[in-house]
């Protein structure tokens, strides 16, 4: 993959961050919309640009684990173990916050989320900037995350002055989030790093997240959604429903995995990679592409119920949440229980 970002771009972007401006930048998971995490006014610009409620906390991105102490306190040994094993990389740790962390970053909670991304452009930017960069995914609130610089432009137009283009994000879905603010670590958001990998590194099982676990906006039921209703189902049902909806004069898009394309006139068909890495890498770009096709529904073939697909199934079910209601008034949805 090429990274068309020059040293000059990095120096300029870091200066913009220091001046309190927003900078969108690539990470290995998805693009982030960054601001100086120590500057409350700058952080507020993120919420305004995204249309995100201000009580939803942001992840602070730093160049290396040494900077943990600038943001967190009472860091437990297991958090260091996770940092050693998975940083830089697609893992976010939620820790007890240090008193210097602005409330705007934490949404007023007593914890802070921290990540050391591995993408070379993110690394270069964080090194040049020197401090922490608060950054949510670079999409408007509730929408599909951006995995290319062009997606960021689609979301924000010119309201974000600087978008660093580091190519298509490798992982393609947001980082795994682990709560390390309590006695035993627990998974708050599944991602490319699986619970099994975390447990292997920890040498102990993760705790089930309790009712008192920190809030994660990515765990809102409806999130990561295209405008077009998304319906998630098994492959044979995809074909059946595609036939039946087209017969009713509806325009249908399909994100298929193993199912072969049926001969249906006007059907918008996208074959997703069969492996989880490839699927995750392309997922959001595919959803955006199918969303642009102005269909009445996007039918998605459900990936298998296996550990390696956990994060992808999580994002798909959130993209689909709330959609079935819209279409369920149209027969034959009643009978199909979707």
- Near ligand TXA by CB under 6 A: residue from 35, 37, 72, 113: 113
Our finding on whether 32 is near ligand TXA (CB under 6 A) is: yes
- Residue 154, H or E segment: helix 149-156
In total, the chain counts a number of residues equal to: 338
Our finding on whether 29 is near Mg ion (CB under 5 A) is: no
Least distance (Å) from Mg ion to the CB of residue 136?
A: 5
CA neighbor of 62 nearest in space, from 46, 83, 44: 83
Answer yes or no: are the C-beta atoms of 227 and 291 closer than 8 Å: yes
Q: Which does 40 bind (CB under 5 to 8 A by kind): ligand TXA, Mg ion, none?
A: none
Q: Where are the beta strands (DSSP E) in the chain?
A: 23-25, 32-36, 59-61, 91-96, 111-115, 133-134, 162-163, 176-179, 186-189, 230-233, 252-256, 268-271, 297-301
**CB under 8 A, 24+ apart: contacts of 73-80:** 73/97, 73/98, 73/99, 75/180, 76/180, 78/180, 78/185, 78/202, 78/204, 79/180, 79/185
The smaller minimum CB distance to Mg ion, of residues 14 and 230, is found at 230
Our finding on whether 147 is near ligand TXA (CB under 6 A) is: no
Our finding on whether 137 is near Mg ion (CB under 5 A) is: yes
User: Binding string, 181-200, against ligand TXA, x = CB under 6 A?
Assistant: -------x------------
Part of the chain binding ligand TXA (CB under 6 A), chosen from 132-140, 240-248, 285-293, 297-305: 132-140
Our finding on whether 217 is near ligand TXA (CB under 6 A) is: yes
Enumerate binding residues for ligand TXA (CB under 6 A).
27, 29-30, 32, 56-59, 92, 94, 106, 109, 111-113, 115, 135-137, 174-175, 177, 188, 214-218
Residues of this chain that interact with Mg ion (CB under 5 A) are 137
């Amino acid at each position: 993959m090429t990274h068309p970002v020059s040293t000059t771009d990095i120096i300029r972007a870091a200066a913009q961050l220091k001046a309190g401006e927003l900078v969108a930048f690539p990470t290995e998971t998805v693009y982030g919309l960054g601001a100086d995490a120590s500057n409350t006014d700058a952080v507020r610009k993120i919420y305004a640009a995204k249309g995100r409620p201000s009580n939803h906390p942001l992840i602070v991105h730093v160049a290396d684990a040494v900077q943990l102490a600038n943001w967190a306190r009472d860091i437990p040994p297991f958090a260091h173990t996770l940092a050693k094993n998975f940083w830089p990389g697609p893992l976010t740790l939620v820790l007890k916050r240090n008193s210097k962390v602005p409330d705007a970053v934490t949404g007023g909670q007593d914890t802070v989320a921290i990540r050391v991304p591995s993408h070379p452009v993110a690394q270069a930017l964080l090194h040049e900037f020197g401090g922490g960069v608060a950054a949510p995914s670079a999409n408007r609130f509730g929408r599909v995350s951006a995995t290319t610089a062009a997606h960021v432009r689609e979301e924000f137009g010119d309201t974000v002055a600087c978008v660093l283009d580091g190519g298509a994000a490798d992982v393609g879905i947001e980082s795994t989030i682990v709560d390390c603010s309590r006695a035993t670590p627990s998974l708050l958001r599944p991602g490319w790093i699986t619970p099994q990998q975390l447990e292997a590194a920890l040498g102990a099982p993760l705790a089930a997240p309790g009712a008192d676990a920190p809030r994660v906006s990515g765990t809102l039921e409806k999130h990561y959604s295209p405008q077009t209703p998304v319906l998630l189902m098994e492959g044979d049902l995809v074909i059946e429903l595609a036939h039946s909806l087209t017969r009713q004069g509806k325009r249908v898009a399909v994100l298929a995995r193993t199912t072969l394309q049926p001969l249906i006139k006007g059907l918008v068909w996208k074959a997703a990679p069969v492996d989880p890495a490839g699927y995750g890498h392309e997922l959001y770009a595919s959803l955006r592409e199918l969303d642009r096709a102005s269909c009445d529904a996007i039918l998605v073939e459900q990936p298998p119920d296996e550990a390696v697909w956990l994060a992808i199934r999580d994002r798909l079910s959130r993209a689909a949440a709330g959609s079935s209601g819209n279409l369920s008034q149209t027969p034959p949805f009643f009978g199909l229980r979707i």
